[in-house]
Structure 1
Amino acid sequence: MTNDPSPAPDLVVPDQGLVEQLLDQIELKHAVDEDGDLGAPWEHYRIYFLFRGEQEQQTYSVRTFYDRPHPIELKPMLLEAIDDWNRRTLFPKVYTHTDDDGTVRLIGEESMLIGTGVALEHFVNSTVSWIRASMEFDKWLVEHLGLAADLDGDTKPDDER
Structure 2
Amino acid sequence: MPASLQPLSDELIISALTAREFAHFVDDDGDIGGNWQGCLIYFFRLGKNNEIFQVRALTQTEFSTDDVPQLYSFCNAWNHDRLWPKAYVHTSDDGVVRVVGEVGADFEHGVTPDQLDQVLICGIATGVELAEAVAALK
**TM-score, normalised on structure 1?**
0.76
Q: Which has the higher helix share?
A: 1
Q: CA deviation at 1:43?
A: 6.2
Q: Indicate the SS of the match to 2:28.
A: coil
C-alpha deviations, 1:9-61, integer Å up to 9, x for none? 72122211111122122221100001000000246431111112333x72111
Q: Does 1:85 align with 2:47?
A: no
Name the counterpart of 1:115.
Answer: 108
Q: Give 3-state SS (helix, strand or coil) of 1:70's partner.
A: coil
The answer to whether the 8 A contact 1:44-1:68 is kept is no
For the pair 1:12 / 2:9, whether they are aligned, the reply is no
Retained in 2: the 8 A contact 1:52–1:59? yes
Larger Rg: 1
Are the structure 2 counterparts of residues 101 and 126 from structure 1 closer, same or farther at C-alpha, using a change threshold of 3 Å?
closer
Q: Distance in 2 between matches of 1:82 and 1:53?
A: 25
Distance 2:95 2:113 in 1: 42
Fraction of identical pairs, as percent = 29
Which of 43, 68, 74 pairs up with 1:75?
68
Q: Partner amino acid for 1:70?
A: F
Superposition misfits of 4+ residues, deviation over 4 angstroms: none
Q: Distance in 1 between matches of 2:126 and 2:104?
A: 13
Describe the shift of the 1:43–1:131 C-alpha distance in structure 2 as closer, same or farther (beyond 3 A).
closer
What CA RMSD, in Å, does the superposition of the two structures yield over aligned residues?
2.1
Amino acid at match of 2:56: R
1:50 is matched with which residue? 44
* Structure-to-structure mapping, 1:7-156, within 5 angstroms: 10-42=4-36, 44-55=38-49, 58-143=51-136, 145=137, 147=138
Give ranges in structure 1 of 5+ residues lacking alignment.
1-8, 148-161
> Where does the alignment leave 5 or more consecutive residues of structure 2 unmatched?
none
